[in-house]
A and B are shown apart, each in its own frame.
Chain A
Amino acid sequence: METLFSLLIGVFFASAVYLMLSKHTVRILLGIAILGNGVNLLLFTAGRLTREIPPIIPFDSDVLPSAAANPLPQALILTAIVISFSFFAFLLVLTYRGYQELGTDNTDEMRLAEPKDESLPPLGY
Chain B
Amino acid sequence: MADQAPLTLLCLFLPFLTALLAPAAVRRFGHGGSWGLALAPLLAFLHFLTFLPQISAGEVVTGGYAWVPSLNLSFSWFLDGLSLTFALLITGIGTLIVLYSGGYMKGHPQQGRFLCFILLFMGAMLGLVVSDSFLMLFVYWELTSITSFLLIGFDHEREAARRSALQALVVTGLGGLSLLAGLIFLWNMTGVTQLSLLVNVDDTLRNSPFYLAALLLLLGGAFTKSAQFPFHFWLPNAMEAPTPVSAYLHSATMVKAGVYLLMRLNPVMGATPAWEILLPFFGGVTLIAGTLLAIRQTDLKLMLAYTTMASLGLLVMLTGFDTPHAVEAAVLYLVAHSLFKGALFMVAGLVDHEAGTRDVTKLGGLRGDMPITFAAALLAALSMGGLPLFLGFLAKEEIYYALAHGDLRSIVFTLVAIVGNGLMFAIAFAVALKPFLGPHVETPKHAHEGPPLMWIGPALLASLGLVGGVLSGVAHRFVSTPMASAVAGEPRLVEISTIPHLGMPLLLSVITVAFGVLVYLRLDQARDMMVRLLTAIGSGPDRGFDHVVSGLVRLSVAVTRIVQPGRLEIYITVTFVLLALTLLVPSFLYGELPDMPTWPDELYFHEWAIILLAVIGLFAVLRASDRLTAIVSLGIQGFAVAVIFLLFGAADLAFTQFMVETLSVVILALVMTRLRLSPRDHRPPRQFAFDAAISIACGLGFTLLLMKTTQLPFNLELTEFFNTYSKVIAHGANVVNVILVDFRGTDTLGEIAVVMITGLAVLALIRVRLRDPLPDTNVETTAEGDRS
Contact = CB atoms under 8 A, between A and B. Distances in A.
Interface of A: 1-15, 17-24, 26-30, 33-34, 37-38, 40-42, 44-59, 61-64, 66, 68-72, 74-79, 81-83, 85-90, 92-97, 99, 101, 105, 107-108, 110-116, 120-121, 123-125
17 contacts: A2-B711, A8-B614, A11-B699, A12-B637, A20-B572, A20-B576, A21-B572, A22-B681, A33-B638, A33-B664, A46-B710, A54-B736, A56-B733, A78-B652, A90-B758, A116-B566, A120-B553
The dominant DSSP class at the B interface is helix
Contacts of A125: 159, 162-163, 166
Given A24-B681, A40-B641, A74-B652, A86 B758 contact: yes
A78 to B, nearest CB: 6
Interface string B665-684: 00110011011011001010
B614 A4 contact: no
Contacts of A57: 723, 726-727, 733-735
B707 A6 contact: yes
B576 A17 contact: yes
B707 A54 contact: no
B678 A44 contact: no
B615 A11 contact: yes
Nearest to B723: A64
Contacts of B407: none
Contacts of B716: 70
Name the 7 nearest CB pairs between A and B, nearest first: A69-B649, A14-B699, A10-B703, A114-B566, A64-B723, A75-B739, A86-B758
Interface in B732-767: 733-736, 739-740, 743-744, 747-748, 750-751, 754-755, 758, 761-762, 765-766
Contacts of B69: none
Contact of B695 (A9, A18, A74): A18
B609 interface: no
B671 A92 contact: yes
Nearest to B762: A93
Contact of B766 (A30, A82, A93): A93
A95 B675 CA distance: 10
A25 B728 CA distance: 50
Given A72-B718, A121-B553, A121-B557, A85 B660 contact: yes
Given A51-B647, A74-B652, A107-B568, A85 B664 contact: yes
Q: Which of B554, B619, B681, B694 has the most CB of A within 10 A?
A: B681
A97 B762 CA distance: 10
Interface string B76-90: 000000000000000
Contact of B702 (A13, A29, A66): A13
Interface in B630-675: 630, 634, 637-638, 641, 644-645, 647-653, 656-657, 660, 663-664, 667-668, 671-672, 674-675
A91 B155 CA distance: 53
Contacts of B744: 75-76, 79
A105 B675 contact: yes
Given A55-B736, A56-B734, A74-B653, A10 B550 contact: no
Contacts of A37: 637-638, 641
B611 interface: yes
Given A9-B706, A92-B668, A34 B634 contact: yes
Contacts of A20: 572, 576
Given A78-B653, A82-B755, 14 more contacts: A6-B702, A6-B706, A14-B700, A17-B699, A23-B569, A26-B675, A46-B710, A53-B649, A54-B651, A55-B735, A86-B754, A96-B671, A97-B766, A124-B159
A123 B553 contact: yes
Contacts of A40: 641, 653, 657
Interface of B: 159, 162-163, 166, 549-550, 553-554, 557, 564, 566-569, 572-573, 576, 579, 597-598, 600, 602-603, 611, 614-615, 618-619, 621-622, 627, 630, 634, 637-638, 641, 644-645, 647-653, 656-657, 660, 663-664, 667-668, 671-672, 674-675, 677-678, 681, 683, 691-692, 694-696, 698-700, 702-704, 706-707, 709-711, 714, 716, 718-720, 722-724, 726-728, 733-736, 739-740, 743-744, 747-748, 750-751, 754-755, 758, 761-762, 765-766, 770, 773
Nearest to B725: A63
B377 to A, nearest CB: 34
A55 B649 contact: yes
B43 to A, nearest CB: 39
Contacts, number: 293
B600 A3 contact: yes
B622 A18 contact: yes
Interface centre among B573, B648, B653 (most CB of A within 10 A): B648
A54 B649 contact: yes
Nearest to B651: A54
A3 B765 contact: no
A19 B641 contact: no
A28 B611 CA distance: 24
A108 B569 contact: yes
A79 B627 CA distance: 29
Nearest to B618: A15
A94 B644 CA distance: 31
Contacts of B674: 96
A28 B694 CA distance: 15
B511 to A, nearest CB: 45
